[in-house]
Amino acid sequence: MSPVSGPRPELAELLAAARVVSVPMRVRFRGILHREALLIPGPAGWGEFSPFPEYDDVEAAPWLAAALEAAGEGYPEPVRDSVPVNGTVPAVGVEQVEAVLARFGAVPAVKVKVAERGQTVAEDLARVAEVRRLLPDAGIRVDANGGWDVPTAVGALEALAEAGLEYAEQPVPDIAGLRAVRLELARRGIPVLVAADESVRKETDPLRVAREDAADLIVVKVAPLGGVRRALEIVAAAGLPAVVSSALDTSVGIRAGVALAASLPELPYACGLGTLSLMSGDVSGELMLPDGGALAVRDVPVSGELLERWAASPEVTQWWLDRLGRVYGQLAER
């Protein structure tokens, strides 16, 4: 397979070189049991294009820009040689928490999913309490993915604050709601910081959340923001502390997240880049898994044998190639 020729190769080159994989998950995450991704080889390495299926072509365009940056240009010079990484606990039952955490090994912090559709705040409280019981000294942050309304978020975070939270990620779906939650927590003296994720990566203006004082920190992901260099620009312009997270990537996508975290002038929080532990396979024989709670800054070789093992079905592959063609057109119009 020949690599593509540069940061903006011809579509025909991309279609010829792309490989599509479908990797099984260990547990259901974001409602999925298999993570699909389209991988692109280039002169600087591999890029990953894996916007979730529900994202439209316009929203998926930055993901392609990020993949082309990785494959064609590579990454900026890092300022550190490793980055701290948190564990991630999906919205599982309390009885599964210990097994999930065991796959991450020693970590300085844990992100716990809350506000899962069909679950209650009581289940969230129990899950977080179990993490705190098992890891009494770890930092804990919760991620609601915008699943609460303002009153529910304030009530839930008041209760969850007893576990000692670093922050709550996207407790409500919109920027006005984030600001309302942040102000009400402060009024009540509840010591929980508010982090914006979707309100950064899914907004046409990723800096609006900072201008409106709607968050104490921002969560940044390389692919939705259009690449490492673009993400660095956004963090600098926002002027808020940043947490680097993944989008449930293979090792190729995790490598991009590590490049961003390694290039930030300051890195006050452990990164959400340990999500490969939630997957049952990968495209590299040298998995980007944390060692001692950190990920080293290094290249990721992609295995031809693993690309074959996890190759998507012909129907799924064609769906992704068709999507690549449409999104390439969106990117070309920018």
The answer on whether 249 is annotated among ligand-binding residues is no
**Sole residue written with tokens 């201008």:** 211
The answer on whether 197 is annotated among ligand-binding residues is yes
Per annotation, catalytic residue among 19, 127, 179, 221:
221
Alpha carbon distance 115, 91 (integer Å)? 8
Question: Interior CA angle at 218 toward 163 and 98, to 5°?
Answer: 35
- Kindly give the residue spans of alpha helices, DSSP state H, lying in the chain: 11-17, 57-72, 94-102, 121-134, 150-160, 175-188, 198-201, 208-211, 222-225, 228-238, 251-263, 304-309, 314-333
What is the SS3 string spanning 236-297?
A: HHHCCCEEEECCCCCHHHHHHHHHHHHHCCCCCCCEECCHHHHECCCCCCCCCCCECCEEEC
Q: Is 113 a catalytic residue?
A: yes
Alpha carbon distance 202, 54 (integer Å)? 13
**Strand 32-42, strand 19-29: pairing:** antiparallel
The answer on whether 143 is annotated among ligand-binding residues is yes
Please return the burial class of 187, using the count of CB atoms within 10 Å of its CB with bins 0-12, 13-18 and 19+: exposed
Alpha carbon distance 283, 246 (integer Å)? 16
Alpha carbon distance 40, 72 (integer Å)? 10
Tokens of 10: 């011809």
Per annotation, catalytic residue among 19, 111, 113, 255:
113
Q: Which sequence positions are flagged as catalytic?
A: 113, 221
Return binding residues.
143, 169, 197
Annotated binding site for Mg(2+): 143, 169, 197
